[in-house]
Amino acid sequence: MFQASLIVDRDYPLAPLDRRVFGVFVEHLGRCVYDGIHEPSHPTADALGFRGDVMALTRELGATLVRYPGGNFLSGYDWEDGVGPLVQRPRRLDLAWASTETNQVGTHEFMHWCRQVGAEPMFGVNLGTRGADEARRYLEYCNHPGGTALSERRRADGADAPFGIRLWCLGNEMDGPWQIGRKTPDEYGRLASETAKLMRWLDPSVELAACGSSAYDMPSYGVWEDRVLEHCFDEVDYLSLHSYFVKPPADSSTESFLAQIETNARYIEDTLAIADAVAARKRSRKRLMLSFDEWNVWYRARHGAHMRQPGWPEAPRLLEEVYTAEDALLIGGMLTMFMNHADRLKVACLAQLCNVIAPIMTEPGGPAWRQTIFHPFAQAARWARGEVLRPVIRSPGRLHPVHGELPHLCASVVDDPDTGRTAVFLLNRDLGEEMDLTLHLRGLGPARRLVLAEELHAADLHAANTLEAPDRVAPRDLVNLSIDGERLRARLKPASWNLIVTQANRT
């Protein structure tokens, strides 16, 4: 056993936590939409064909925001295909995923689903094959109250009131050679600027996210951000980041896998440095915020038939990653890192929601179940409310040849002054030893009671939840814990994710 400490103080807050960091992603890809969230023949399906069991799990997951409809799919999507009577909607070939798109789920259906699960939509506009005017038309269709051709078309299609979609992505991964309509940074920056201008003229209340690099290791990273923002800095609110976590054969150790928490922290900080440098050149006091709108573990289902299948199938089984206890540890650690950047990171979307690199899996006509990564996300989404406090962590660690010093403890603390509840999220990433943790909650009230204490731990890091064993990896009670005034002590198992919630006793 080794000792570690975590100190927070109410007088040293970082920032209020934007609850939109607990977003997810739904793309017309594989079985995410069809045979995923939407299966009209399923016993639990509602009148529009959406699975009730998946909606219940989405609510349990706590998704606050849903990015839609892509993804790579977005860059070849015509929004007009997804509105109007179902029988008149065209079948299209989707070049992004070599599939047939039926368009039986579109704007109206998706907005119905968002209302059912209680999530805010984050829509995207196609800047691959289309441009500024199509984006303007889509926004008018969705958000203008009435009296114009496009808004009256929406009303005729069944939505009398405007959808009021506030958050929009200006394209997707426009730097990627795999992307339909790939752009140079200057081409995209100019297009994003002009698109944003038209959208803001139409609806000044919208919030807009420009595409950053599609990965930290893209050869153009840095140059892309700088050139894009040179054009559209004044017109956008967010810059997007995307990151998928892998285990390269050259270094497939768990230690290196979990070190990606630090790698992505540097990704955030480097991107902010570039954005702030652009602000300095422009003599601007504006500080751009970040949208980490694609992130997850993805490396097993990333080749061959996992990516594309012949014959233009409908809803093929693509990117269906099976997650392990090890993956859940990384997801939990990433969530602590996101919360500890709450001053500038305002939006994040776990990619994706259902079947496709997803926390929820389904079988057609059968059950839905929680993958291992479901649990740390659901815990954070439920309990992380209020202000993030600056953590002072003292922990031994491991020296990694690439990533440097890696402390065994990753942690974040979120305090809600309205309820008196404080949520502490803890990852012990030492693989062999328990952690004797002392937690000091300074200024949060000397009299506290325990609300909840849970741990996620599996002796086998390769353990997974499956159709046959859906609850093999799940949170259990954390029992080795004591509270003495503002001090809390806990014993954390090796390779474990932990949640502790306390509440001030108010008189």
C-alpha span between 113 and 408 (Å, rounded): 41
Phi, psi values for residue 11, rounded to 5°: -75, -5
What six digits make up the tokens of 35? 């045979």
Residue type present at position 318: L
Residues with catalytic function: 173, 294
Name the nearest CA neighbour of 417 among 336, 484, 503. Answer: 503
DSSP 464: B
Exposed/middle/buried for 39, CB within 10 Å: 0-12, 13-18, 19+?
buried
Q: For strand 481-484 and strand 487-492, is the pairing parallel, antiparallel, or unpaired?
A: antiparallel
Dump the DSSP string for 323-338.
Answer: PBHHHHHHHHHHHHHH
Name the nearest CA neighbour of 323 among 500, 122, 464. Answer: 464
Q: For strand 368-370 and strand 99-101, is the pairing parallel, antiparallel, or unpaired?
A: unpaired
In angstroms, the Cα distances linking 297 to 325, 326, 327, 373, 376 are: 12, 10, 7, 9, 14
In angstroms, the Cα distances linking 317 to 58, 166, 256, 324, 430 are: 20, 32, 29, 19, 35
Residue type present at position 491: R
